Structure 1
């Protein structure tokens, strides 16, 4: 049997493809150890994918009768083509892999045509040195740029390192390559976030440093593990409008969480409610069980804690305090949205629970002047983060050096609190932003309240992308 380039002639195929002048063919090509130009991948939705005449592993020998031996020559000949192109190809020796293989996180053993992911980090292909491109291809031509929070339609996961995806709502819905979860995990090298200053957001008051440390995980340090950037994509599903069951306000101390929670409930008590915490503290004079607290014994609380019946709990002055899960479910079953101002460490449980269905709002600390205003509002209601105060009228010799020194110290302590609030706010946002549905900078309590109410009302009128675990 006659041969060409060591291959039987009857195995060589001539493939005619239709081509739009300004549209790429939609494939990547690599040069193997024998010098053949091998199709490495076919982009889903591209020209070649739509026509179905080429497969991964096929070798391209000629373009319109011109022999091509290098990637550069292949690109130049294809670029000359206008409406059509004819390729001489050597079919792959093995059966081509099934196209458009997508694995669901819920059913890893099954495959489907499509799935959707929420991006939990930003990606710019122009900055990616590992992106598989030909010498004449730019990274922006083959890669897909996306921002944190974008919804990605994953159309092919057959390559363990590079997925093919589209940005939902993006212009033209172009298909491009993005790093797989596994590749990006390895590349980030498990850098603990508080040391990853490269990705720190620029919020006033944060301390910037060039120090960077590596961190290897231990299962005993589950809190550090949960806060690390391991979850890079979250599988989501598009749901019709519906109301969430809990409204969770998260933010650092002094940013106005409790004030806003009380104002939200006062705005519409028939729609919003909140829990009454439990405590092992003895009941004081004039207190009633079920008003400010549910009073119980320490033994009963410890037993419930062991049985995971508390969302969160802590100890103060030898007494236990906690938020019981049954209290949250009781509010939900009454038909109200339960408003919580819990610790961010509780977000993972809330987010994974199909009973809680939380809408999480992060209240970011504003600038110095706005925090001082929040502090003054809190002080007017009897709240204070410092016991050190100075009253000018109480000093007989206000003009004395000692009096002026005390007032200066009080001012410095307050300013130090404000700076610490901004720094802690930035740290919380970096550590837990994958759980947030909305971020609001609390510059003004009235404006923030209006934004929260508007966001909650939109839930009943607009479709939502929610974790796929809420649906299936």
Structure 2
């Protein structure tokens, strides 16, 4: 059958045979076709086929079947010729080895294609029954992909639906995916549209996906409004941060206020597109991966961490922060804080032993790398809650962090779920209680957009916390799935020295056959 949608056309799969005429000499390629077991058998080479052109031409005979050919055609703007635009890796055309990108189609069943449009060519193909014969001028020899080339796997950092993309060359030839899907890329020869397939997909035929450059250009053209909207300066707003679970110190809140991100400072941040990943086979002796939770103030990161810890205290653990202030009577060393001298704290700062730290009321507070090691050494999953910019300190093969971004829902849902929620403004003043304001909701959403735009490439999972109970179940189920997976996909940069680099160019619309 033949289908038509938005200029894309699909024709049934074909079996191949070809006849090549270099300078009026006839060369049969039946043997090459037979080796690939392309059935049914095609009729013998016609005796009356003559070549009148000086250039080499190729006659390719095809027999329709149900599978698509796996190629697209377009009209060359400079010559007007109908040429093969793309060959999908793993498709019938690719397997045959008889049709290549850049080949010019001269005739279909003896009908010249000069001055024809791709749609007219597809109409000829649609009317064809059984055998279809192409007359082709082969493209100049091109460098073939090496069969032993290293496989490239990418984790998608955005959702993509070809049906919603007006610029895709052919919707039928494209691959839809969701954020977090692992894709095997088989061709990056086109700088705008790469070819890939889903990991473990039973289909061996690849499809088109937007390249890194294309998606970056699209995001750049759709500048987030946060880049142009002036930020309000009000003391209570900022990132939520607590160095202790359950009891938020006033220092933590003050540091949170001072660590607000300014979108104006980061003007050249590249949007998250893909990240190269490699399979990690966890050994029974390996430690659990570090779990990092991030999100804007009020979104519920600390509550999710608290619920995880309560749900299974023998499996989950949290770090104990360091401080230089005096120990209070109700506090215990190694439980509430690790109490150290100023000299020792500053020495650890110089030795880069802190993931993050700050000062409040003349005292240092911070989360150390050693505190993470202690939790992991106990055989527990360490739950870490840090500012997104500090993830880099643990983003290594040693910790193999699994980063979860907790995202607020739309502002309408925030108004419904958070309007009556109360929280302490200052731990020292128990009567200082207030509810979320409209400005708090806007700040939460703005900060979430900024975090995702600037650090989205580090996030393994995104959870929208509209309902805390639903978000908690989703988080716990996801962490369990990660732990039980035989193969986990981790960033290649933890193993390799250099990430994948992409190229830049423009694409062309073509038709799917």
Give the unaligned 5+ runs of structure 2: 1-22, 26-49, 229-262, 497-513
- Asked if 1:151 is matched to 2:182, the reply is yes
Aligned residue number for residue 396 of structure 2:
353
Rounded to whole Å, the distance in 2 between the matches of 1:169 and 1:459 is: 17
Q: How does 1:400-439 map to 2 (within 5 A)?
A: 414-416=436-438, 419-420=441-442, 422-424=444-446, 426-427=448-449, 430-431=452-453, 432-439=455-462
Contact 1:281–1:320 (8 Å) recurs in 2:
yes
> Quick check: 319-328 or 186-195, which moved more?
186-195
Cα 1:449–1:185 shift into 2, 3 Å: closer
TM-score (normalised: structure 2): 0.67
CA shift at 1:349, angstroms?
4.2
Instruction: Name the Cα RMSD after superposition.
Output: 3.9
Cα 1:81–1:152 shift into 2, 3 Å: farther
Rounded to whole Å, the distance in 2 between the matches of 1:150 and 1:457 is: 18
Aligned residue number for residue 35 of structure 2:
none
Aligned residue number for residue 43 of structure 2:
none
Cα 1:50–1:174 shift into 2, 3 Å: closer
Aligned residue number for residue 370 of structure 2:
326
Cα 1:173–1:428 shift into 2, 3 Å: farther
SS in 2 for 1:460: helix
Rounded to whole Å, the distance in 2 between the matches of 1:387 and 1:84 is: 86
- Asked if 1:185 is matched to 2:216, the reply is yes
Aligned length: 405
> Quick check: 318-327 or 162-171, which moved more?
162-171
Aligned residue number for residue 140 of structure 1:
171
Rounded to whole Å, the distance in 1 between the matches of 2:306 and 2:475 is: 13
SS in 2 for 1:76: helix
Larger helix fraction of residues = 1
Rounded to whole Å, the distance in 2 between the matches of 1:468 and 1:178 is: 20
Cα 1:223–1:8 shift into 2, 3 Å: same
Q: How does 1:50-65 map to 2 (within 5 A)?
A: 50-65=95-110
- 1:133-190 deviation per Cα after TM superposition (whole angstroms, max 9, x unaligned): 4xxxxx3133333333333221211222221122346796753222221333344338
TM-score (normalised: structure 1): 0.72
CA shift at 1:193, angstroms?
4.5
Rounded to whole Å, the distance in 1 between the matches of 2:399 and 2:67 is: 50
Rounded to whole Å, the distance in 2 between the matches of 1:301 and 1:16 is: 77
Contact 1:164–1:177 (8 Å) recurs in 2:
yes
Cα 1:470–1:373 shift into 2, 3 Å: farther
Aligned residue number for residue 492 of structure 2:
468
SS in 1 for 2:437: helix
Contact 1:45–1:175 (8 Å) recurs in 2:
yes
Cα 1:31–1:247 shift into 2, 3 Å: same
- 1:98-146 deviation per Cα after TM superposition (whole angstroms, max 9, x unaligned): 1479xxxxxxxx943x322122123344555554x4xxxxx31333333
CA shift at 1:196, angstroms?
6.8
Cα 1:232–1:304 shift into 2, 3 Å: same
- 1:181-219 deviation per Cα after TM superposition (whole angstroms, max 9, x unaligned): 13333443387645379xxxxxxxxxxxxxxxxxxxxxx
- 1:223-258 deviation per Cα after TM superposition (whole angstroms, max 9, x unaligned): 8379x3433111223455777422222222234433
Aligned residue number for residue 119 of structure 1:
156
Cα 1:174–1:196 shift into 2, 3 Å: farther
Cα 1:16–1:320 shift into 2, 3 Å: same
- Asked if 1:85 is matched to 2:132, the reply is yes
